[in-house]
Structure 1
Amino acid sequence: MTTQRAPASTEEPRQDRNLQLPSEVIQRLRNVIFGFDFFVTKVENYQANGVIFKGNLRGNPATAYDRIAARLKGELGEEYVLYLLEDQEEQPVAVILPKDAAEQPLPATQEALLSAAFGLATLVTLLNANGLLLLQPDQLDLSPGSVLSALPGTILFFLLLAAHEAGHRVAAKQEGVELGTPLFVPAGLGFLGSFGAITSFRSTVPDRATLLHVAAYGPAFGAAASLAMLLAGLALSAAGVGDGELQPAAFQDSLLVGVLGQLFVGSKLAQGATVSLNPLLAAGWAGLLANALNCIPVGVLDGGRIAHGLWGRRNAGRLNIIGLFLLGVTGIFDTLSLFWVLFVIFLQRGPISPQREELSQPESQQDRVLGLCLLGLSLLVLLPYPGAIIPETVF
């Protein structure tokens, strides 16, 4: 980032009279704590309980943040929290919030109750998607045979959801941030029994690199497990091992699955014959779909957080508008898109909570490439297979 020089003028910074923090705190922040690293030109309120300092940042943002934060802690203890952000004009700003206002996680008891309620609803839709038909009382069959037939697909898909969440947890532990209890979201659309889970941060995220790392590892683990399960299911289906049937037209719903289907069972698809539906195939496909939906760069989905980590708040906001528009348009013709855009608008709209230092770009090339691949995954899985399936048998 280009170093910005302080203006030559020694004019006192403009300051609102009714600021959220005490005047003596404002003066200590402006004169002692910001110092050389951030030349303050204007002070004004930030939302309902903080103060924003506008001015010129000197040097590397991460280094400047560490210095200012250390002075803040030395002068005012743990009472206030510093954020180094970017305003609407793409200029650096410093925000000071009282610690109590900066960290307001959901109470543990309330979070546990919500998680249990969402989990129970998700179990119902998972069992329903695997044939138990709990959502259709007139066709409900709770005989031991029906229950046992619904369990394999339910367990397999739940394992894929667990793999996704494990990815987030592993990355969060590596970065030293705390995650909340996941809220599994029921779906009940076809063979997709769940949209995945809503996972919140219980602690403040330090920077965009951390946000990218934690956000990307969830769908990376989930998609890898789903793809492995899908490939195993396709191989078994090609060998005729399956207790259901899949129509050839279904493979045209997804570009990636259509290509893989052509490789494994291309001759059957070309002839219009049904394909044996192995539970691994159905679960792997559903897992890929759930991960792909979560990788769309909108709201506070994993994709939205990945885009924010890669390109910053303003650029991620632009992608969010484009993504929601495209989802809304496709929702006119596709039920899944309609449900998904409503889900994002009502539950995952955002905004993404500020990181303490948002100006520095992630340095890990591995995480950057992984993030781009995951954004591309949503296109590969959600775009339809073009044209007809061409006969080509490999296995």
Structure 2
Amino acid sequence: MKFWLILVVLSPITYLLVNRSLKNKTTAPVWLCWLIIMLPSCIWTIWTYIFGEQQPLPLPVLLFPLIICPLLYGWLVQRGRIDKPKDAKDAVETSKNKNIAMAQPTAKTTTPRPIDSTEETALRNCFPWNVYYLQNIDYRPQAIFCRGKLKTIPEKAYHEIKNNVEKAFGDRFFLIFQESFKGKPFFALVPNPQAKAEEGEVKSDQRMGLALVLFVITLVTATVAGATINGTSSEKLLSDPSLVLPGLVYSLPLLSIIAVQKFSNYFVAAYYKVRTTLPYFIPFPFLLDSFSLGTLGAILQRKSPIPHRKALFDIAIVGSLLGLLVVIPTLIWGLSLSSVVPLDESSIFNIQAQDPRLSFLLSLLAKLALGSSLTAKMAIELHPLAVAGCVGLFITAVNLMPIGQLDGGHIVHAVFGQKMAIAIGQITRILALLLALIHPYFWIWTIVMWLIPLIDQPALNDVTELDNKRDFLGLLAIALLIVIVLPLPNAIASWLNI
């Protein structure tokens, strides 16, 4: 019965999150998308109800819904995706940001106001011939494209033309500077829907009450999960709620890791005057004690465009690196409290007998924490604090994947440009799929990568490149992802005697 009660609590929260994420993005019925998201939980609950809690979930029953339902959800959302003009991709992938997509408050489609001959003359005068030689102006439903030849360095051209456009049109337009897929820089003027209501919308974006409620619920679900990881059965928790307190050893470090990552993103975005929501924690009361994690992390929604690639890079990398600075000491401490047990190779993720060799970084930290007690053919029975560190490490690895709108996708976009970032993302997907055919461990990474769209939103100035320091940090982030995801090589394992 308790599982049904959990579903009753989880269902409205999930519906609100799905409704918020799909609003103005697809015509697919929200209730159907929500039903697909809830289907795995329903299947597992029905299995538990029929066969009892003592009967573990068969691997196909566990994995099949996790694979099929996200694919079905993505297909349904994509099928009902609201069509946008083809040239919107050239402008900013403009309308992935729903605020940019709303041009006129009284119109259903994004159509910039026609500019008369006088305004067109003013627009042409915004482009000095020795900065950007303007050749033609192309009017499209979502933007006014200004195409020509760049005559100076990109950063100087963007700032000078941006100042000229602001003098001529005020805050009526966003000015976007981007390279086409043929490598030619162009400018685009996109209507700014926040021109008259920016101050009023800042408060509504924060939604502090919603963020606080979601955090409290997540703290509860993660603490209960930590208590079950610590060996307390759900029946004992129901009879004596005070037994949930040891679960704080798991929940507080895990939520701290997530908070550091997301609030770092939030404050760096605020530094660059990019409007975002507060981080929304996602509670997840899993249905079986042995698989309970309590949360799916947190989300941060951006409400205004990124000004340039430097800001895009800084917002992405600061959260991941600072989060990792919390993850590593948490893992070392948690592993030092863990015990060594015989290796059970039948399970990829097993907190009673976790194989640290599945991750290069985890192997090194485990050897550092456990010393000579960790040897070949031995695994680790993870302490709840170590489980929190492992989950934090997994979340960091997911964030660093060079795909789409993940932090790693932002990083490679900022370092290499949008066109190269799309190619890197596709190559990463294919490599993950090939590795998954060799070792089943990589299937979880492969599924995550193929569920995330490749294309990232460009910055307003998406042409000016980064400095050498940021380029180095970007390569370092990719290296960190590799050492987290790739297993420990046999040669190094033999050298370390693990």
Measured against the shorter chain, the TM-score band is 0.7 to 0.9
The residue aligned with 1:382 is 485
Following superposition, the deviation at residue 195 of structure 1 comes to 4.6
Aligned with residue 202 of structure 1, among 303, 318, 343: 303
Do structure 1's residue 183 and structure 2's residue 280 form an aligned pair?
A: yes
2:226 corresponds to 1:130: yes
**What is the DSSP-based 3-state SS (H/G/I as helix, E as strand, rest coil) of the residue aligned with 2:193?**
helix
Cα gap change, 1:304 to 1:186, in 2 (>3 Å): farther
Counterpart position of 2:356:
251
* Equivalent of 1:169 in 245, 266, 273: 266
The within-5 A match list for 1:147-166 is 147-166=244-263
The CA deviation at 1:58 is: 1.3
Alpha-carbon separation, structure 1, partners of 2:191 and 2:236: 54
Separation (CA, whole Å) in 2 of partners of 1:149 and 1:299? 38
Give the secondary structure class of the aligned counterpart of 2:390: helix
**Residue in 2 aligned with 1:230?**
331
Q: Secondary structure at the match of 1:362?
A: coil
**CA contact under 8 A between 1:43 and 1:51: conserved in structure 2?**
yes
Higher normalized contact order (CA 8 Å, seq sep 6+, divided by chain length): 1
2:182 to 78, 86, 89: 89
What value does the CA root-mean-square deviation take over the aligned residues?
A: 3.7
Does 2:442 correspond to 1:341?
no
Taking a change above 3 Å as real, the CA distance of residues 191 and 369 of structure 1, as seen in their structure-2 partners, is: farther
Once the two structures are superposed, residues 321-374 of structure 1 have per-residue CA deviations (whole angstroms, 9 ceiling, x without a partner) of: 2233445566774563365236x43xxx374333221111112x4333222222
Question: For the residues of structure 1 that align with 2:269 and 2:206, how far apart are their CA atoms?
Answer: 19
Secondary structure of the residue aligned to 2:386 is helix
**Which letter does structure 1 place at the counterpart of 2:251?**
T
- Aligned mates of 1:101, 1:256 — CA distance in 2: 45
SS at match of 1:270: coil
**Cα distance in 2 for residues equivalent to 1:56 and 1:75:** 22
Q: SS in structure 2 opposite 1:267? A: helix
Deviates more, 1:119-128 or 1:302-311: 119-128
2-structure distance, mates of 1:71, 1:274? 64
Query: 3-state DSSP class of the match of 2:389?
Result: helix
CA apart distance, 1:155: 1.2
The reply to whether residue 74 of structure 1 matches residue 146 of structure 2 is no
SS at structure 2 position matched to 1:323: helix
What pairs up with 1:361-380 in 2 under 5 angstroms?
Answer: 361-363=465-467, 365-380=468-483
Q: Which TM-score applies when normalising by structure 1?
A: 0.78
Instruction: Give SS of 1:159's match.
Output: helix
Structure 2 residue aligned with 1:6: none
* Deviation digits for residues 51-102 of structure 1 (CA, Å, limit 9, x no counterpart): 1111101101111111111111112222122111111101000001111189
Q: What's the TM-score, normalizing by structure 2? A: 0.63
Cα 1:22–1:61 shift into 2, 3 Å: same
Partner of 1:99: 192
Partner residue of 1:261 out of 366, 387, 390: 366
Matched, 1:212 2:317: no
Q: Distance in 2 between matches of 1:258 and 1:38?
A: 54
* 1:128 Cα deviation from its structure 2 partner: 5.6
Give the drift of 1:261.
1.5
> Which residue of structure 1 lines up, in the alignment, with residue 345 of structure 2?
none
Q: Give the AA of the match of 2:470.
A: D
Conserved? CA contact 1:179–1:201, under 8 Å: yes
1:307 aligns with 2:412: yes
Q: Distance in 1 between matches of 2:311 and 2:298?
A: 20
Are residues 352 and 282 of structure 1, via their aligned partners in 2, closer, same or farther at CA, if it must alter by over 3 Å? same
Corresponding position of 1:356: 460
- Is contact 1:167-1:217 (8 Å) kept? yes
How many residues get paired? 364
The answer to whether the 8 Å contact 2:352/2:382 transfers is: no
Change (3 A) 1:103 1:119: farther
Q: Distance in 2 between matches of 1:304 and 1:93?
A: 23
Give the match for residue 135 of structure 2.
41
Report if the CA contact (8 A) 2:399-2:408 is conserved. Answer: yes
Contact 2:158 2:461 in 1 (8 A): yes
Residue identity opposite 2:184 in structure 1:
Q
- Judged with a 3 Å threshold, the aligned counterparts in structure 2 of structure 1 residues 95 and 121 are, in CA distance, closer, same or farther, namely farther
In 2 relative to 1, CA 387–249 (structure 1 residues): closer, same or farther, beyond 3 Å? Answer: farther
Q: Distance in 1 between matches of 2:215 and 2:462?
A: 34
**Closer, same or farther: CA 271–91 of 1 in aligned 2, 3 Å:** closer
- In the other structure, the counterpart of 2:93 is none
Provide the C-alpha distance between the structure 1 equivalents of 2:175 and 2:187, rounded to a whole number of angstroms: 7
43 and 139 in structure 1: CA distance in 2 versus 1, 3 angstrom threshold: farther
How many angstroms apart in 1 are the aligned matches of 2:216 and 2:143?
Answer: 39
Q: 1:273 to 1:372 in 2, by over 3 A?
A: closer
Identical residues among aligned pairs (%): 24
Q: What residue identity is the alignment partner of 1:67?
A: E
Q: Give the equivalent residue in structure 1 for 2:237.
A: 141
Residues 216 and 59 of structure 1: CA distance in aligned 2, closer, same or farther (over 3 Å): same
Aligned-pair CA distance for 1:111: 7.1
Aligned AA (2:312): L
- Provide closer, same or farther for how the CA distance between residues 391 and 58 of structure 1 changes in structure 2, counting only shifts above 3 A: closer
* Structure with the higher fraction of residues in helix conformation: 2
